[in-house]
Amino acid sequence: MDVDQCGDSEYCIPAGTSDTHWDWNVNVPGRIVAIGGHVHTEGHGVRIEATNQTTGQSICNSVATVASGNTVRIHSVYNSPEPMNDVMGIMVAFVGT
């Protein structure tokens, strides 16, 4: 999952707090066995979150499951003193089917 939808994985943010997200419509149902995120220096506490937007449930642990048709949202939160044009919001999830 990539806020930039796997283009070059970079996107722009304004000065101050920003929360950019991207939704993935699940097409590989299964149990999430591992998940990890990546943001750059000004990322807010290296905070990146994935939630099941269909159920409202957090899926950032190994007991989470997703089904075909669910929508998963990745959030990339930054608090930068100045605009930046090369930040990232990436999350990799391993789904056991």
Residue 1 lies in a domain: no
> Do 93 and 1 form a contact (C-beta atoms < 8 A)?
yes
Residue 2 lies in a domain: no
| Number of folded domains that form the chain | 1
Residue 4 lies in a domain: no
Of 10, 77, 40, nearest in space to 2 by CA: 10
pTM as predicted: 0.57
Residues forming beta bridges with residue 19, ordered by sequence position: 77
The tokens for 53 are 């937007």
Residue 3 lies in a domain: no
Q: Residue 40 has what DSSP assignment?
A: -
| Coil vs helix vs strand at 18 | strand
pLDDT digits (tens, 9 = 90+) for 24-83: 888 888 877 777 776 666 655 444 567 788 888 877 643 345 777 878 777 788 888 899
Residue 61 lies in a domain: yes
Residue 6 lies in a domain: no
